[in-house]
């Protein structure tokens, strides 16, 4: 029997990116008026100088929609090219319908499907992995992957240990099915996801829809999160490189989760990347959870830093604990 050639699996190619940030800027000095803190204290521990905070008209849906529109325009695509929308968010406007289907309606997408995914700050990496799987399996040819967060509405604004760390915003990418092969061809080379539920109590929101006995505020053991973040993210980064037969020197850009400048710097040093090859937005955006990686990525593409052919490494860790990495050839 003559062996039949195997059909080539499609590869997810990242063709467009977009971002949306609320207009209101809240500086450290503004927070210091009502909290026992200072600009110097916040900058020294986190690298954050300011953050964006949602206004009355900003919602997870509205921000996700604007970021998605920008991503489609960047890719030269329209609503007719969208088969699937995945929104990574821990702060949806409603328990249901999903943020994704509200975005679908707002964009005028008339076919396909959409759903939300909750993996805290690692949500975008998780959503990117799911989208890549849908493309590779032939269930979609055009996918919007969006991170959209309104953390200002779940923060305890009297807790200086958490409220100074977070901001609001949305970032999006548009994936299309491609036909390239090998590590030099454009597309998502691989994604790697992990979780450790036994560490769920070091970063969580104290409440949920249907529970009125808790304040529904974010709670964090910052010391423990920091300790696990550097170790787990380093493992996920090495896993991605090893899976593709690549080394640290092959990486052109690191786009990390924007949680804390000290964590970002530690990851850059582990990869041997100079600071100018690490995309950093935490000073101006703070931690926008699932939106932080796509926001940083969109900025670096828009200003011309990330170019066609570059190898981009993304990584993030969030409550759960959840963490993961993605390796992408532009």
Spot the catalytic one: 121, 163, 192, 260: 121
User: In 27-55, which positions are buried (b, 16+ CB within 10 angstroms) versus exposed (e)?
Assistant: ebeebbeebebebeebeebbbbbbbbbbe
Handedness of CA 221, 222, 228, 232 (dihedral sign): positive
Spot the catalytic one: 192, 260, 285, 287: 287
> Using alpha carbons only, how large is the chain's radius of gyration in Å?
19
> Is residue 244 annotated as a catalytic residue, yes or no?
no
Q: Is the peptide bond before 80 cis (omega within 30 degrees of 0)?
A: no
Residue with tokens 């006995």: 213
Residue 164 is given by DSSP the state: T
> Is residue 121 annotated as a catalytic residue, yes or no?
yes
What CA–CA distances, in Å, run from 297 to 56, 109, 253, 287? 27, 25, 10, 14
Spot the catalytic one: 84, 257, 260, 285: 257
Q: Are 147 and 100 in contact (CB under 8 A)?
A: no
Which H or E run contains 102? helix 99-107
Q: Are 145 and 206 in contact (CB under 8 A)?
A: no
> Is residue 212 annotated as a catalytic residue, yes or no?
no
- Active-site residue list: 121, 257, 287
């Amino acid at each position: 029997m003559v062996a039949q050639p195997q059909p080539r699996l499609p590869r997810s190619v990242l063709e467009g990116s977009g971002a949306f940030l609320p207009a209101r800027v809240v500086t450290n000095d503004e927070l210091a008026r009502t909290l026992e803190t200072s600009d110097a204290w916040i900058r020294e521990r986190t690298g954050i100088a300011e953050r964006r905070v949602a206004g009355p008209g900003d919602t997870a849906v509205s921000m996700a929609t604007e970021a998605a529109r920008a991503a489609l325009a960047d890719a030269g695509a329209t609503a007719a090219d969208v088969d699937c929308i995945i929104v990574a968010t821990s702060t949806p406007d409603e328990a249901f319908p999903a943020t994704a289907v509200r975005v679908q309606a707002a964009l005028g997408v008339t076919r396909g499907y959409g759903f939300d995914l909750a993996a805290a700050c690692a949500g975008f990496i998780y959503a990117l992995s799911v989208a890549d799987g849908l493309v590779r399996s032939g269930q979609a040819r055009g996918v919007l992957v969006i991170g959209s967060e309104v953390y200002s509405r779940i923060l305890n604004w009297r807790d200086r240990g958490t409220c100074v760390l977070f901001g609001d915003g949305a970032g999006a990418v548009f994936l299309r099915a491609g036909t390239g092969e090998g590590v030099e061809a454009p597309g998502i080379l691989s994604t790697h996801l992990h979780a450790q539920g036994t560490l769920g109590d070091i970063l969580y929101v104290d409440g949920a829809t249907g529970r009125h006995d808790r304040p529904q505020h974010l709670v964090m053991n910052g010391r423990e999160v920091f300790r696990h973040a550097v170790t787990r993210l380093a493992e996920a980064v090495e896993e991605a490189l090893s899976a593709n037969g690549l080394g640290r020197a092959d990486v052109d850009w690191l786009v990390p989760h924007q949680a804390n400048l000290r964590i970002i710097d530690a990851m850059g040093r582990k990869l041997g990347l100079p600071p100018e090859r690490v995309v950093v937005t935490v000073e101006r955006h703070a931690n926008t959870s699932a939106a932080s990686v796509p926001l940083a990525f969109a900025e670096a593409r828009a200003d011309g830093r990330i170019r066609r052919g570059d190898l981009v490494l993304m990584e993030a860790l969030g409550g759960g604990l959840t963490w993961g990495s993605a390796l992408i050839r532009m």
